[in-house]
């Protein structure tokens, strides 16, 4: 925030921006335009490195710009209209593996509510690997379409464009999915969800979908395993954003759209995926997906000793919840007309389907046990 804080980091800053390790942004710049793009352009990189090479002088303090961010230990969205919290603290032991937990919190909503911002906020970040809040309506069944908001390091709160909002039906329950990791000291957390209601009637309803493949094995030692998934859009909608998700063996991820006329477009290419950054890529302009558009995802995994993040390259790895298991999910946020009566369940057909014939998206529910 200040010159004296920054000066000692000059050489590290130069190294971090030249190697593109910082700011954290992983999209291949040749594909897609994103409203939350953090990357620096060549001119900005030159400015920074020239400052370092020129001796990192302070310049005229009187001409310095005002700080553009306020670092507050509070909500990153404006003050929420309503805050829900885990009914009691969850105690995390000092060591060992903690399975995912699912905690239901009633909304008490007696009418349908539209939400334009949502933030999940742990009270003790040191043990929260991630926390996701789903909305369970009276259909009684949970799938990725009910994803409302999540917390993970590097992830931003959900904030939709004016006129777009998430629908929370009267009587819904919130399902907090919590993944705690132990860190040597006993700890307690009581994660919160803050919501801001839409101030005007929503024109479009935002829904999450997942393009996913659960049926893969990464053989021990294999340096480059390709896994594909695809989903066909069952009704017209517009694409708002993309979030690739793999675990520690994830190497690269690509989203493509194949339109009904056969033309194809790369939506996002992440050539060097990093599990530690669960980045969401928000499209600069929504992309119309006509009915019948196919969203295709291609992931590559490295389960070899050359992957420094690999927890154990000597084992075969399959789908599972813990970070040493793997996942392959291309999350997408889409908007449909607000009046659409569609349920939250996915409207597309995923490939490969689950062995039981349901779409693969469903297995995110609380029935899922750790493997």
Question: Which positions touch ligand HEM (CB under 6 A)?
Answer: 9, 12-13, 16-17, 22-24, 38, 40, 154
Helix (H) or strand (E) holding 3, with range, is: helix 3-6
CB 203 within 8 A of CB 264: no
Helix (H) or strand (E) holding 15, with range, is: helix 10-18
DSSP letter string over 45-58? HHHHHHHHHTT---
Nearest distance from C-beta of residue 176 to ligand HEM, angstroms: 24
Nearest distance from C-beta of residue 37 to ligand HEM, angstroms: 11
User: Residues 115, 280, 78, 111: what is their CA dihedral angle, to the nearest 10 degrees?
Assistant: 10
DSSP letter string over 108-144? --SS-EEEEEEEEE-S-GGGEEEEEEEEE-TT----G
CB 289 within 8 A of CB 257: yes
Name the residue nearer to ligand HEM (CB basis): 154 or 260: 154
Name the residue nearer to ligand HEM (CB basis): 23 or 106: 23
Name the residue nearer to ligand HEM (CB basis): 70 or 140: 70
Name the residue nearer to ligand HEM (CB basis): 23 or 290: 23
Nearest distance from C-beta of residue 183 to ligand HEM, angstroms: 17
Token pair, residue 97, equals 């593996």
Per DSSP, which regions of 163-218 are E strands?
A: 164-168, 173-180, 187-189, 192-197, 204-212
Name the residue nearer to ligand HEM (CB basis): 22 or 222: 22
Token pair, residue 315, equals 């084992």
Nearest distance from C-beta of residue 149 to ligand HEM, angstroms: 18
Nearest distance from C-beta of residue 44 to ligand HEM, angstroms: 8
Angle, nearest 10°, between helix axes 10-18 and 42-53?
A: 150
Name the residue nearer to ligand HEM (CB basis): 230 or 251: 251
Nearest distance from C-beta of residue 68 to ligand HEM, angstroms: 12
The candidate with the shortest Cα–Cα distance to 175, out of 212, 146, 152, is 146
3-state SS, residue 38: coil
Name the residue nearer to ligand HEM (CB basis): 3 or 9: 9
Nearest distance from C-beta of residue 190 to ligand HEM, angstroms: 24
């Amino acid at each position: 925030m200040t010159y004296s804080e920054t000066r000692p980091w000059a050489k590290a800053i130069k190294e971090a921006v030249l190697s593109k390790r910082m700011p954290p942004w992983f999209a291949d710049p040749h594909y897609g335009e994103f409203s939350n793009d953090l990357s620096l352009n060549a001119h900005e990189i030159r400015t920074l490195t020239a400052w370092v090479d020129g001796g990192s002088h302070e310049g005229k303090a009187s001409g310095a710009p005002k700080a553009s961010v306020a670092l507050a230990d509070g909500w990153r969205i404006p003050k929420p209209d309503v805050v829900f919290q885990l009914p009691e603290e969850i105690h995390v032991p000092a060591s060992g593996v903690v399975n995912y937990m699912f905690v239901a919190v009633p909304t008490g909503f007696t009418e349908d509510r539209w939400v334009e911002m949502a933030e999940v906020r742990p009270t003790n970040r040191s043990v929260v690997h991630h926390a996701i809040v789903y909305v369970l309506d009276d259909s009684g069944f949970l799938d990725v379409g009910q994803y409302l908001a999540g917390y993970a390091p590097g992830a931003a709160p959900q904030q939709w464009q004016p006129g777009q909002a998430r629908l929370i039906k009267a009587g819904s329950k919130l399902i907090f999915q919590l993944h705690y990791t132990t860190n040597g000291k006993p700890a307690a957390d009581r994660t919160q969800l803050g919501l801001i209601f839409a101030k005007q009637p929503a024109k479009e309803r935002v829904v999450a979908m997942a393009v996913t493949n659960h049926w893969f094995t990464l053989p021990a030692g294999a340096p480059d395993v390709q896994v594909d998934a695809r989903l066909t859009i069952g009704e017209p909608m517009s694409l708002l954003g993309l979030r690739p998700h793999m675990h520690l063996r994830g190497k690269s991820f690509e989203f493509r759209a194949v339109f009904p006329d056969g033309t194809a477009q790369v939506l996002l290419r992440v050539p060097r995926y990093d599990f530690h950054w669960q980045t969401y890529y928000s499209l600069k302009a929504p992309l119309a997906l006509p009915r019948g558009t196919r969203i295709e995802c291609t992931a590559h995994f490295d389960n070899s000793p050359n992957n420094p993040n690999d927890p154990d390259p000597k084992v075969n790895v399959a789908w599972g919840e813990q970070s040493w298991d793997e996942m392959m999910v291309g999350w997408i946020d889409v908007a449909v007309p607000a009046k659409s009566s569609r349920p939250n369940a996915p409207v597309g057909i995923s490939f490969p389907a689950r062995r039981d014939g349901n779409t693969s998206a469903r297995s995110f529910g609380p029935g899922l046990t750790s493997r």
